Amino acid sequence: MSETATELSWQERVYRVLREHGVTQFPYVPDAGHRFLIEAATADPSVHAIPCTTEEEGVGIVAGAHLGGETGVLLMQSSGVGNTINFLSLIQHCSFPFLTLVTMRGDFGEQNPWQFAMGQAVEPTLNAMGLITLRADDPEQAVSTVEAALGMTQVGGRSVAVLFGQRLLGAKKF
């Protein structure tokens, strides 16, 4: 690994991996944990950074991107997972390959009690809608898990959610 590569943050490496795999549509609902990826996509003239009013739009956009021959990834916070559930019918019923990166709340070290209900329901609800969930709790895992998920979606044709845990992102103290 070159000197520069070792200096890249895990978020920069994740963005690089997504771009190397041809991801060109980045629908998102803002989240502090996704700040780097959102800024990187927004600054990149060769991709579409697409702020959404609600997360289910991102599911529609990723499916539409595939219909049009491109690849998208949905960036959202765990609270947004609940908003996507019925739209994930589209993914399952039509066998769309689908990738989402979810930044977790209501998880390791959470102190805001409003976050636990949805945070703890993320995996069971996504699994119930046919998605494979993969957790990443440290920087190395984050990069390798996104890489693995890209293979599972682009080659394997499945739908996968990568969950970035609060052990990785840091739990907010409020």
Partner 1 sequence: MLERTPALAALLDGTDDRLIVTGLGSAANDVAYITDFAPRAFTMDGVMGAAASLGLGVALAQPAREVLVVTGDGELLMNIGTLATIALQNPQNLGIVVLDNGLYGLTGGQTTATATVADLETVARGLGIRRTLTVRSDDELTAAHELIATPGDTAVIVVKVAPGPAAAVRIDRDGSRLRSNFRSYVLSEVGR
Binding site for partner 1 (CB under 8 A): 24-25, 48, 50-54, 56-70, 72, 86-87, 89-90, 93-96
Indicate the residue among 15 and 96 with the shorter CB distance to partner 1. Answer: 96
Select 61 or 142, whichever has its Cβ closest to partner 1. Answer: 61
| 4 alpha carbon, distance to own chain's centre | 25
Residue with tokens 């549509």: 25
Indicate the Cα dihedral angle 141, 162, 155, 64, nearest 10°: -150
* Residue with smaller CB distance to partner 1, 27 or 165: 27
- Position 104: which residue type? M
Cβ–Cβ < 8 Å for 91, 98: yes
